[in-house]
Amino acid sequence: MSPLSLYVHFPWCIQKCPYCDFNSHAVKNPIPEAAYIDALLADLQADLALLAAPRIITSIFMGGGTPSLFSPESLLRLLTEIGRLVPVDAQCEITLEANPGTFESAKFRDFRALGINRLSIGIQSFHDRHLRKLGRVHSAAEAKLAVEIAVKAGFDNFNLDLMFGLPDQSESEALNDVETAIGLAPTHISFYQLTLEPNTYFYKFPPKLPEDDVIFAAQKRCQRLLADNGYQQYEVSAYAKLGKQSRHNRNYWQFGDYLGIGAGAHGKITRSLPNDILRTVKPRSPEQYLSQPGKSQCETIAVAHLPLEFLMNQLRLKAGFSLEEYQSATGLAADSLEPSLSICLAQGLLQRQGLVYTCTDKGWDFLDVVLEKFID
């Protein structure tokens, strides 16, 4: 049984952040927890019927939104029923996203007792004025307290989310955020630049962001600091201690298969190569999702799009890819990457070391340029 990941989306938050383009909705009424768990399980059963053969779940990621708004009892029911519907690896990585404004000691002890063995905590910044501009519901002090609660609850594997390039953020403030995060000893740090995405408040009413050269200088200094403290960059925005890379996200970036359940969730299922690789999408509105449990839009990835689909994820990884991995994931011959692959090598955007192709520093900084060359 080849490995498979499971993503579970929880669409509710305490409030909507002005930069967020994820499918999240501010809580206005009590969350219909029981009904939503029912819908998730019906959704999972429908997706499992799409598999060409039995598969084993090796990672579960509960994202959002804010999954930690749900009760431990609801998540216990969800995880228990998942285990009854599909085989789950005994060493399964089970991640829960959480915002510092939702941390309670007893609740997180219960989460750990359920078998959840990894947290991803949305800090974003340790400066109160930046948190206010980002619309976060927590303070810097609450962010530090959340980590303390997590550690006391038994979580020894956790990620901290940080953003840089924030409105009016100085280089020294960005560096201080990273220094503070390192001091809290997470096993993983996600460090990514604020971007103004369509359909967000910030896109409609753009804040004043630092100049590009200030952002770039801050990024480079922070990356050096992370490396000096044992956090190795393995993806564009992901840094981890040795052996603590996110198993779930690595599978996604390596063009692996994953089921996506929940409002607006996406999935990818390989049934046969190269002609039957499915993308699934669930109804985005929580109300529509609850009214049509198990409904999914399925689309077969066109064979001509597979080179780009593979590379747009794989090239985000520092480890790059081999032609054998490409053939195994897509079912296509190695020469289907030509002539674009040779052009990128000649232009110094990609490099080959043995059997492995990776981005050069130039290619890493201009990844969009690299990928454009593989558009059918």
Domain boundary among the residues 223, 251, 279 is at 251
Q: Do 208 and 105 fall within a single domain?
A: yes
Q: Would the pLDDT of 53 be above 70?
A: yes
At residue 316, what are phi and psi to the nearest 5 degrees? -75, -15
Domain boundary among the residues 217, 251, 285 is at 251
Convert the pLDDT of each residue in 319-364 to its tens digit. 999 999 999 999 999 999 999 999 999 999 999 999 999 999 999 8
Q: Would the pLDDT of 294 be above 90?
A: no
CA dist 255 and 201 (Å) reads: 32
In a domain, 99, yes or no: yes
Q: Do 207 and 321 fall within a single domain?
A: no
Average pLDDT over residues 43-53: 96
SS3 content of the chain, % helix, strand, coil (to 5): 40, 25, 35
Q: Do 135 and 39 fall within a single domain?
A: yes
Q: Do 91 and 227 fall within a single domain?
A: yes
Q: Do 206 and 348 fall within a single domain?
A: no
In a domain, 112, yes or no: yes
Q: Do 310 and 163 fall within a single domain?
A: no
pLDDT number for residue 265: 97
In a domain, 109, yes or no: yes
What is the share, in percent, of the chain residues with pLDDT greater than 70? 100
In a domain, 256, yes or no: no
Q: Would the pLDDT of 271 be above 90?
A: yes
Q: Do 158 and 43 fall within a single domain?
A: yes
DSSP-assigned states of every residue in 272-321: ETTTEEEEEE--SSHHHHHHSTT--EEEEPPGGGHHHHHHHHHTTBTT-E
Looking up residue 195, the CATH number of its domain turns out to be 3.20.20.70
Convert the pLDDT of each residue in 94-124 to its tens digit. 999 999 988 889 999 999 999 999 999 999 9
In a domain, 271, yes or no: no
Q: Do 324 and 227 fall within a single domain?
A: no
- Residue numbers of the domain that contains 233: 3-251
Looking up residue 346, the CATH number of its domain turns out to be 1.10.10.10
Q: Would the pLDDT of 1 be above 80?
A: no
In a domain, 242, yes or no: yes
In a domain, 275, yes or no: no
**CA angle, 317 then 320 then 322, to 5°:** 145
The partner residues of 277 in beta bridges, in order of sequence, read 270
Domains: count for the chain = 2
Q: Do 62 and 156 fall within a single domain?
A: yes
Q: Do 247 and 339 fall within a single domain?
A: no
In a domain, 289, yes or no: no
Q: Do 151 and 242 fall within a single domain?
A: yes
CA dist 146 and 269 (Å) reads: 36
